[in-house]
Amino acid sequence: MKVVITGSTGFIGINLVEELYNKHELVLLVRSGKSYPQLGRFPKAKIVAVNFDNQKELEMACKGSEIVVHLAGLLPNSTSSVKEIYSVNAGLAGNMIRAAIRSKSVKQFILCSTAFIDWFAGMSQPKETVYTASKLEGEKVVKQEASGAKIPLTIIRPGFIYGEGNPGMFPIFKLIKSGLFFYVGTGTHDFELTHVRDLTRFIKLVINNRKAFDKTFIVSCYRTFSFKQFVESISKALNVRSPSRHLSPTLVKIGLKIVDLTKSITKINLPISMDTFYTFTCPRKFDVTAAKRELNFETNMDQGKEISKLVKSFTILTQRQ
């Protein structure tokens, strides 16, 4: 099948291209005016440079394709403005579903959202974060457009993505190794991880799968663990002492809000935002039963081994610096 992918140059995107490369005809939409050498190893894929704000260009790029997988988005640690985050996470999602509909050829639209907008029943639900609110808005826009046009829609909500080649966890590794890491709160809250290979395997499974049409699925690990256990496993892999310091969540939250409100004057940009604060401090235990019930899917990557691989990559990188 001919599959259009947005966000193909990102961590999830590159892994998805690898997953689908030998089975589907791929059209990779990239932002015009930039070079993307990382896509050079996929010579059979068609790379199309577009202006993502130009509806006509998007429609032309989707013409003749049967599936659109929309991955592009801004992450919780983004330093972009609120307007920019909504423009990408909600506005671009709307542009892509409209392009898919007007192409007259697309038979399924797959949206990669986030599990953080659908916390397990009874858990805190921090929709006040810009990231979760913008992703939720993106879902609403896509659902409305798809419903009106009667185009099959599949929404995938992954948890915290990790995997070899993703430096997103390296700041945590660095803090643990240097002895500067501290827990916000007790660290005993539920924590989960979603390996990128499990996610791409699931996306591959739902492509042109009628059982996945007009459904929403959470993709995350089946057995959670505490955040403290996660940190201790990293400490063990790094061969350093496990962190023991704790800070009050209330004080950290107040401090972050003050920095956020005054950063236009102080020009202070911290590597942690309110969105990342919630990501690492709120209990996370997602209901992943729909994927098992509807599609007989379970995550199967060995978290211990994969975290060890990540730590090894981090160690090699720091030795080179």
- Is 11's pLDDT higher than 90? yes
Query: What does the pLDDT average to over 95-107?
Result: 98
Q: Exposure pattern of 137-156 as b/e (b: 16+ CB <10 Å)?
A: bbbebbbebbeeeebbbbbb
Residue 107, domain extent: 2-164+193-222+285-300
> Is 124 within a domain?
yes
State the pLDDT at residue 223: 84
Lowest mean pLDDT among 101-115, 268-282, 297-311: 268-282
- Distance, in Å, from the CA atom of 171 to the CA atom of 72, rounded to the nearest integer, reads 23
Structure tokens at 259: 């920095």
> Is 313 within a domain?
no
> Is 263 within a domain?
no
> Is 314 within a domain?
no
> Is 158 within a domain?
yes
Using 50, 70 and 90 to split pLDDT, how confident is the model at 286?
confident
> Is 239 within a domain?
no
The structural domain count of the chain equals 1
State the pLDDT at residue 256: 85
- Distance, in Å, from the CA atom of 144 to the CA atom of 94, rounded to the nearest integer, reads 9
State the pLDDT at residue 121: 44
Lowest mean pLDDT among 49-58, 166-175, 219-228, 262-271: 262-271
**pTM (2 decimals)?**
0.92
What lies within 8 Å, CB to CB, of 207 at 6+ separation is 1, 3, 20, 24, 67, 69, 108, 110
> Is 153 within a domain?
yes
pLDDT tens per residue across span 264-273? 677 666 666 7
- Distance, in Å, from the CA atom of 63 to the CA atom of 102, rounded to the nearest integer, reads 8
Nearest Cα residue to 126 out of 255, 278, 292: 278
Mean pLDDT computed over every residue of the chain: 91
- Distance, in Å, from the CA atom of 172 to the CA atom of 232, rounded to the nearest integer, reads 12
- Distance, in Å, from the CA atom of 290 to the CA atom of 87, rounded to the nearest integer, reads 30
What lies within 8 Å, CB to CB, of 25 at 6+ separation is 1, 2, 3, 44, 46
Using 50, 70 and 90 to split pLDDT, how confident is the model at 120?
very low
- Distance, in Å, from the CA atom of 232 to the CA atom of 25, rounded to the nearest integer, reads 43
> Is 251 within a domain?
no
User: Where on the phi/psi map is residue 165: left (φ > 0), alpha (ψ -120 to 50), or beta?
Assistant: left
State the pLDDT at residue 264: 66
Query: What does the pLDDT average to over 198-227?
Result: 96
- Distance, in Å, from the CA atom of 215 to the CA atom of 154, rounded to the nearest integer, reads 5
Question: Cα–Cα–Cα angle for 114, 119, 120, nearest 5°?
Answer: 135
CB 120 within 8 A of CB 286: yes
CATH of the domain at 200: 3.40.50.720
State the pLDDT at residue 283: 83
- Distance, in Å, from the CA atom of 89 to the CA atom of 84, rounded to the nearest integer, reads 9
